[in-house]
Amino acid sequence: MSEPTTTGGTGGAAVARPTILEASGVTMQFGGLTALNDVSFGLSEGEIIGLIGPNGAGKTTLFNCLTGLYSPTSGTVALRGTPLPQDPARVTEQGVARTFQNIRLFPSMTAEENVLVGRHVRMKQNPLSSLLHGPGFRRSEAEAAERTEKLLAFVGLTRFSDELARNLPYGDQRRLEIARALATDPSVLLLDEPTAGMNAQETEATRQLIFAIRDLGISVVVIEHDTKFIFTLCDRVLVLVQGEVLVEGTPDEVRGDPRVVEAYLGAPPEEIEAQVNRVQVPGVQDNGAQDNGAQDNGAHDNGAEDNGTQDNRAQDNRAQRNGAPAEGGEQA
């Protein structure tokens, strides 16, 4: 579609800071479907990067690759120059924590216990001391409990500490997920749509929370559809379209970039015509590939599914515009 553009000059300060997380050439294929194609970016210490793009652009797939849930088909992810292992548990140990797009708390555990599970990786407690409850055990439990209390206070959930996670209000569940991720003492935090389904006030509170997390020295990557939220939060924004980095730059640069507008709102009419002409010949073939993709991905993953829907949607758009060009023009 278009070349990934790296717009340099993300503000002098950011450039001066060392890179903590670096993805280079990450490509992820599911069968014949390419969910991510040669994605590269670097995250500096204390930086907040926003990841935006239409549904199915591969944002969550990228997160899964960064955290070891997927092994990228090619490309590497490195934390402070060391390649990350292909195992979520060990990635978390190294200091990359995440939240999930569809909240994945431990529903039948209390808020406190959820955060305690996050402490798992940092607790010094082997099975034998778990069994015997010796002084070492008590020390580590006390440390974990203290840390948990602080984290719950940090995200403002102290009053819910003994409540089952499933019973928390929606927004608080998202907050609890963040507290749980923070409990692993990450140096990089990946937030997947942290404000989905929130009202304006809650969104604002989340923004402040993310700033506070950044101030703890933790670098943050945020996936979000709310572009206003992203543009007012992030130091840098990556626009991912169909598995490729379309634009990268400061919020101002990205906001003004016509390609971003195009990716989100559709191309101006004359370009659509051009596109339709370009696509129509191999159209039948395309369809076949898409169907296969859609079936496959049901079996294994989100990212691929998103891609499938995305393609279908693009196709719908095309059809619609062919049928009613006036309307299409109006939209654009």
Among 174, 180, 236, 321, binds other proteins (CB under 8 A): 180
Tell whether residue 92 is a contact of other proteins (CB under 8 A): yes
Asked if residue 178 binds other proteins (CB under 8 A), the reply is: no
* Stretch of 140-148, 149-157, 210-218, 322-330 contacting other proteins, by CB under 8 A: 140-148
Q: Which residues contact 288 (CB under 8 A, 6 or more apart)?
A: none
> Is 138 a binder of other proteins (CB under 8 A)?
no
Distance of CA 134 to the CA centre of its chain: 41
Among 27, 40, 125, 187, binds other proteins (CB under 8 A): 125
Q: Does 100 bind other proteins (CB under 8 A)?
A: yes
CB 187 within 8 A of CB 95: yes
Question: Which position among 34, 110, 290, 297 is part of the footprint of other proteins (CB under 8 A)?
Answer: 110
The closest of 83, 76, 21 to 47, measured between CA atoms, is 21
Helix (H) / strand (E) element for 98: namely strand 96-98
Out of 133, 139, 228, 300, point to the residue binding other proteins (CB under 8 A): 133
Which 182-221 positions form the footprint of other proteins (CB under 8 A)? 184
User: Does 89 engage in binding with other proteins (CB under 8 A)?
Assistant: yes
The binder of other proteins chosen from 7, 19, 38, 69 (CB under 8 A): 69
Decide: 140 and 123 in contact? Cβ < 8 Å.
yes
Contact call for residues 183 and 98 (beta carbons, < 8 A): no
Partner residues linked to 22 by β-bridges: 42, 78
The least distance separating other proteins from the CB of residue 248, rounded to whole angstroms, comes to 26
Where are the alpha helices (H) located in the chain, listed in sequence order?
Answer: 12-16, 59-66, 88-94, 111-119, 127-132, 135-154, 170-182, 200-215, 227-233, 251-256, 258-265, 269-280, 283-300, 302-323, 325-331
Q: Which of 14, 20, 56, 98 binds other proteins (CB under 8 A)?
A: 98
For residue 154 the two structure tokens come to: 């940090």
Encoded tokens for 331:
């939209």
CA angle 210, 214, 220 (to 5 degrees): 75
* CA-based R_g, the chain, Å: 22
Q: Is 135 in the site for other proteins (CB under 8 A)?
A: no
| The one segment of 47-55, 128-136, 147-155, 211-219 that binds other proteins by CB under 8 A | 128-136
The one among 4, 118, 171, 194 contacting other proteins by CB under 8 A:
118
**Least distance to other proteins, CB of residue 105, Å:** 7
Q: Which is nearer to other proteins, 19 or 161 (CB)?
A: 161
Handedness of CA 216, 206, 228, 194 (dihedral sign): positive
CB of 15 to other proteins, least distance (A): 31
Among 55, 71, 76, 130, binds other proteins (CB under 8 A): 130
Q: Does residue 145 belong to the site contacting other proteins (CB under 8 A)? A: no
Residue type at 105 in one-letter notation:
L
- Decide if residue 300 touches other proteins (CB under 8 A): no
CB of 75 to other proteins, least distance (A): 21
Part of the chain binding other proteins (CB under 8 A), chosen from 109-117, 200-208, 237-245, 266-274: 109-117
Helix (H, G, I), strand (E, B) or coil at 103: coil
Bridge partners, residue 23, by sequence: 41, 77
Q: Return the ∠ at Cα 248 (arms to 214 and 258), rounded to 5°.
A: 130
Binding positions for other proteins, rule: CB under 8 A: 67, 69, 87-90, 92-93, 97-98, 100, 104-110, 113, 116-121, 123, 125, 127, 130-133, 137, 140-141, 144, 164, 166-167, 180-181, 184
